[in-house]
A = this chain, B = another copy of it.
Amino acid sequence: MDNKTKILECSLELFSLHGFNSIGIQDIVDKVGIKKPTLYHYYGSKEGLLQSLLSEHFKPFNNAVRQAADYHGDLPKTLNEVAFAFISFAKDNKNFYRMILSMSFDPPESITLKTVTPFLTEQFQLIEELFIKASNNHGNLKGRHMRYAVSFIGMLNTYISLLLNEHVSLTDDLVYNVVHQFMHGIFS
């Protein structure tokens, strides 16, 4: 594998474990086995490296979400597909998901939040649009698009956190259970 790719892999592992701010360029190049100018040749700056790392993984992720969130009249089915897109991506990209989940709660003025926000906004809009379209068939959703989009993603991330920490395992019915709880609560 070439150095350019190896840099992405190693920095992802280090960032997800220790955080973007706690990892120095020197840590990364040491792990890859190269010298600093090589990294700067490819990515220009630490921020540029983060940008490349994010778009590399977010593009396929958000494409999968867009496909899953395409509404065709069956809200429960669509929510299930969205949940599956999130959970299976998180399972296949544990380090990356850990990192973006962390960054999405980073302080308002941090570079990390500012860099990750556009990708998260795109996700949010896909889900919000889904609830807007579904509100034609479900009157009680009207005027609550934003709240439900946020709380649906919130619930997904809550269960994905459990998954990442291995407090719960990815069984076939996890997706079903999450969506069911979101739709009908805990009393059923």
Contact = CB atoms under 8 A, between A and B. Distances in A.
Instruction: List the 8 shortest-distance A-B pairs measured between CB atoms, nearest first.
Output: A154-B158, A184-B185, A185-B185, A105-B105, A21-B21, A19-B107, A183-B185, A102-B105
Given A102-B106, A147-B168, 5 more contacts: A19-B21, A22-B107, A151-B155, A154-B155, A183-B186
B186 A162 contact: no
A62 to B, nearest CB: 20
B148 A167 contact: no
Contacts of A187: 138, 140, 183-184
A12 B94 CA distance: 31
A50 to B, nearest CB: 14
B151 A158 contact: yes
Which among A15, A157, A184 has the greatest number of chain B C-beta atoms within 10 A?
A184
Interface SS majority for chain A: helix
A174 to B, nearest CB: 10
A16 B158 contact: no
Please tell me how many copies of the chain the complex holds.
2
Contact of A17 (B109, B150, B184): B109
Interface residues of A, number: 44
A182 to B, nearest CB: 6
A144 B188 CA distance: 13
Contacts of A183: 185-187
Interface in A125-175: 138, 140-141, 144, 146-148, 150-151, 154-155, 157-159, 161-162, 167-168
Interface in A54-95: none
A10 interface: no
Which among A18, A102, A161, A188 has the greatest number of chain B C-beta atoms within 10 A?
A102
